[in-house]
Structure 1
Amino acid sequence: MSGRTPTNGYTRRDGDGRKERLITRDVVLIMAATFFFMTASMMSGPIIAGFAHTLGANGALMGFIAGALSLAALFCRPVAGHLSDRTSKRVLAVVGGALYLITNVWYAYASNPASLLAARIVNGVGFACISVCLSTWLSTLLPLSRMGAGMGLYGTMNALAQAFGPDLGIRISKAVSYRAAFLTASTMAVLVVVCVLCIRDSGRPYAARAARPADDGRRPRLSALFEPKVIPIALIFMMFGIPYFANQSFIVDYAARMQVPFGVSVFFPIYALVLLAVRIVLRNWFDTKSFRFFLTLCTVGDVVMLLSLAHLRSFWMLALAAVMTAGGYGLMSSVTQAKAVLIAGKARSGMANTTYYAGIDLGMFLGPLIGGLLFSGVPIAWFYPALLVTMPVAWAIYLPFRRTIDGATSRE
């Protein structure tokens, strides 16, 4: 055949060289659904521990409740990845959105730590379903030659939500109440479901089930849980996620202990705006520059970010840290996700995204955990410098697998 048409024609590539445009109605709706669901998730991130404390949780239980979502998501992702490669993504996304709606209302009316913990676990199931589903759905609508640009836009929605969500949750909880913040997040979940139901593409599996080799059932394989070739990418991104989520959880307490004379919540909006500009300016680089190039660039960004926060003496150091976060963690989020799909191929895009998001889950869990240990166990001046160790570890993971990672191209 001279061409092929996955799903309903959005990535058609024919012998005459005609290429379907990158931005379509369905792509925009998936991007919008992604923004709303991630905003809902990030709104609860910086306030859930404080809310647990008001319900009577002690310090250890506060931390466990905060991390329960990512732990639940980590264990559910293999199942979600299989379902996204084998069933309708529309159904899976609606289920995930509905769970987000239910759990945020549950948060608002939880009366004790046990109830809050149960809601957090259910929220993790919804997070696993919808995050893998939407990213996989989008990847089937993009031509491989534009995968970097397309996933870059998707990553922008994630990163913007991760920047605005925490700030919005903190502001509403302080100005009104925790309950108001959770109910606001529940309205975001409603918008997720609305966007998903408006998508024309049915989200059916990209590869026919008959085309997959049959499982003889003799022994469990790693590929049944994750995409093995993508694990190094997920671990590299986890190394960038640990400093980001440690900072997200402790920047307010760090600033208070360091007696910083200005508000630090503006860090997140600055990060979001700079990230948006970076994604626009560098949109053509995602499909042309090597992974090593981006890893070098993002490493520099993270190092400067951590050093800037370690010397937080003025607003301009905070602004510099936010800018460098966009050039570090923010940029790497898109690069690693696009590379994961290219390495695995579209038929395994669900498992590729499952593996990629497992890296996020681990970063979301280990970041606050390590941050808490550092915050209470080392002099406060060493909080951010200690996190610098994640960067050489990221390179130590990359170097043994550089041929596989750099060898993945956008040829269909």
Structure 2
Amino acid sequence: MEPLFVDEKKRKPLWTKAFLITSLSNLLLFFSFQMLIPTIPTHVSQLGGNDIQVGLVIGIFTISSLLTRPFAGRALDLFGRKHVLLVGLAICALTIAGYTYMAAVTLILAARFVHGIGWGMSTTSLGTVIADIIPAERRGEGMGYYGLSNTFAMALAPLTGLWLMQTYGFPRVLLISTCLALLSLFSSLFITYTKPMPVEKSAQRPKLMDRLWERTAMLPSGLLLCTAICYGGIVTFITLFGHEAGISNVGWFFLCNASMVLIVRPITGMLFDRKGPEWVLLPGALFTLAGLLLLSYAHSEASLASAAICYGIGFGSLQPALQAWTIARAAPNRRGAANGTFFSANDLGIGLGAMVLGALANISGSYALMYRYSTVLILVFILIYGWCFWQARRGVQVAQR
């Protein structure tokens, strides 16, 4: 594990050429992906797909991505970062281009499975590459800035995709999305960085699970799982909640949420580097909890915006801090496996949020109650991290005696 705190005079530069190119490649890839989230289900519906098939458009993609990440993480540590990254980006670009020629719903679903493989490989690779590039003493700050590329894409790409589809048709959406994926692939060719130093191999061959998953990443990934389930419930049911609560424009939630994420990520990243994870994770969890509670009681656009501001502060703080903490806990030669474990938890959480919280809403008969009950997951987050932090502090005090 690397030290979190370094003398200010010895801090290495963050805004290097490699950092900027990797962030740009991530922005292009996520913009390409986010453009398809609201448009491809609509396209499948227009082709005659039923509700189950429309749901499978997201579900199959998530499953294949989730299954791919552990193997992608292992491949990153064995064969090098750029090889896996370029293959993943090529799969994404080719699959998006292939959607143009698929007139049958079954073919699109098959392509979504392949697309998920490319997505799992490329996003895990980019997360590992950026972890290698960012100086250890600025990892929280760097992850915060890097995460802004995801936020920009989430805020603008779905609206862009819908506008293109309504104005020019779905083929134009695919053309632009393909070009963005190709640009991500092209820019990734110019990423250069120092490879992590190899470590001595143990005489005993590690178990399969230890090769695919990183044990040191389990705690932050488990905490991420709690927040991702809540987020899955938001992105899946926020529109239906708006109808239930009589809120005509739920777009305010995403706009305010994205705005707060853009503001807080650089700030909390620097706080993580200077003070440690506890200064970000506990306050971030409390803001997330407050955001969910406010959302469950929202009955107007103003109250929805207030909920989004609180949730955005929490969400914008937690995800990059958890990823930076994951990387700090892992050995350099295990960063690929650590990122695979981390992103798998995110995928699994969003998928579980859509299914489990959907079932909870069906049982309770209210989306507001669903969001209220989901705060239990954030309380679990606080209890688990609080206990681990207390144990760590207790261990330090015992060692100092």
Band the TM-score falls in, shorter-chain normalisation: 0.7 to 0.9
- Equivalent residue, structure 2, for 1:207: 197
Q: Distance in 1 between matches of 2:110 and 2:117?
A: 11
Which deviates more, 306-315 or 230-239?
A: 306-315
Cα shift readout 1:375-409 (whole Å, capped 9, x = no counterpart): 544323323223222212323443554478889xx
2:273 maps to which of 287, 291, 312: 287
Kindly indicate whether the alpha-carbon contact (under 8 Å) linking 2:77 and 2:333 is maintained by their aligned counterparts in 1.
Answer: yes
| CA-CA distance at 1:246 after TM superposition | 2.0
Instruction: Show the counterpart of 1:249.
Output: 236
Q: Aligned partners of 2:136, 2:118: CA distance in 1, in Å?
A: 28
**Counterpart-to-counterpart distance in 1, 2:375 and 2:350:** 17
The 1:162–1:403 alpha-carbon spacing in structure 2 relative to 1, beyond 3 Å, is: farther
Distance 1:78 1:389 in 2: 28
1:104 alignment partner AA: I
Corresponding position of 2:399: none
Confirm whether residue 308 of structure 1 aligns to residue 294 of structure 2: yes
Residues 1:50 and 2:42 are matched in the alignment? yes
Which residue of the partner structure matches residue 4 of structure 1? none
Q: CA deviation at 1:116?
A: 1.7
The answer to whether the 8 A contact 1:169-1:181 is kept is: yes
Q: How does 1:8-19 map to 2 (within 5 A)?
A: 18-19=10-11
| Contact kept in structure 2, 1:290 and 1:406, CA below 8 Å | no
**Contact (CA 8 Å) 2:222, 2:345: kept in 1 or not?**
yes
Task: Report the equivalent of 1:5.
Answer: none
Matched residue of 2:273: which SS?
Answer: coil
Q: Is the 8 A contact 1:33 1:191 kept in 2?
A: yes
Query: TM-score under structure 2 normalisation?
Result: 0.87
* Structure 1 residue 126, shift from structure 2 partner: 0.9
Q: Distance in 2 between matches of 1:40 and 1:406?
A: 44
Shift of 1:353: 0.8
The equivalent residue for 1:321 is 307
Determine helix, strand or coil for the equivalent of 2:197: coil
- How far apart are the structure 1 equivalents of 2:353 and 2:119? 18
Q: Deviations over 1:222-281 (max 9, x none)?
A: 2211101211211211111122222112222322343323x2224323322221211233
Listed one character per residue, the Cα deviations across residues 348-372 of structure 1 (whole Å, up to 9, x for unaligned) are: 1111111111111112211222343
1:232 matched to 2:204: no
Tell whether 2:55 aligns with 1:63: yes
Amino acid at match of 2:202: P
Hey, which of these two has a bigger chunk of helix by percent? 2
- Separation (CA, whole Å) in 1 of partners of 2:291 and 2:36: 24
Amino acid at match of 2:271: W
1:87 is matched by which residue type in structure 2? Answer: F
2:23 is the alignment partner of 1:31:
yes
Aligned equivalents of 1:47, 1:281: Cα separation in 2: 34
Partners of 2:299 and 2:168 lie apart in 1 by: 31
Equivalence for 2:143 = 151
Is this contact kept in 2: 1:297–1:327, CA < 8 A? no
Q: Distance in 1 between matches of 2:172 and 2:203?
A: 50
What residue in structure 1 maps to residue 176 of structure 2? 184
Q: What is the deviation of 1:215?
A: 5.1
What is the rounded CA distance, in whole Å, between the counterparts of 1:350 and 1:46 in structure 2? 30
CA change 1:344–1:395 in 2 (3 A) is: same
State how many pairs are aligned.
390
Distance 1:307 1:400, change over 3 A: closer
Identity %: 25
Amino acid at match of 1:180: R
Distance 1:120 1:198, change over 3 A: same
- Aligned partner (choices 337, 343, 349) of residue 351 of structure 1: 337
Structure 1 pair 51–246 and aligned structure 2 pair: CA distance change class (3 A): farther
CA contact (8 A) 1:250 1:371 kept: no
Whole-Å separation in 2 of the counterparts to 1:52 and 1:376: 25
The separation in 2 between residues aligned to 1:402 and 1:107, in whole angstroms, is 48
Q: Secondary structure at the match of 2:210?
A: helix
Contact 2:295-2:308 within 8 A present in 1 as well: no
Letter in 2 for 1:38: F
Q: Which residue of 2 aligns with 1:100?
A: 92
Residue number among 100, 105, 112 corresponding to 2:104 in the alignment: 112
Q: Matches of 2:179 and 2:322 in 1, distance apart?
A: 30
Query: Aligned ranges for residues 308-387 of structure 1 at < 5 Å?
Result: 308-380=294-366, 381-387=368-374
Evaluate the alpha carbon distance shift between residue 64 and residue 396 of structure 1 in structure 2; reply closer, same or farther with a 3 A threshold. farther
**1:163 pairs with 2:155:** yes
Sort the Cα spacing of 1:147 and 1:281 in 2 relative to 1 into closer, same or farther, 3 A: closer
One-letter amino acid matched to 1:268: F
Judging changes above 3 Å, is the alpha-carbon distance between structure 1 residues 276 and 404 closer, same or farther for their aligned structure 2 residues?
farther
**Does the C-alpha gap of structure 1 residues 235 and 283 become closer, same or farther in structure 2, counting only changes over 3 Å?**
closer
Q: Which amino acid aligns with 2:201?
A: R
| Cα distance in 2 between the residues matched to 1:176 and 1:247 | 30
Residue identity in the other structure for 2:229: I
1:193-204 counterparts in 2 under 5 A?
A: 193-201=185-193
When structure 1 is superposed on structure 2, of 378-387 and 144-153 the one drifting more is 378-387
Counterpart residue number, 1:216: 205
Q: Deviations over 1:38-91 (max 9, x none)?
A: 222223234443333333333333323312222111111121112211223222
Residue 250 (structure 2) aligned to one of 264, 280, 283: 264
Report SS of the residue matched to 1:282: helix
CA distance in 1, matches of 2:236, 2:170: 17
Q: 1:97 Cα shift?
A: 1.4
CA RMSD of aligned residues (A): 2.9
Query: More displaced, 141-150 or 53-62?
Result: 53-62
Segments of structure 1 that go 5 or more residues without pairing to the other structure are 1-14, 408-412
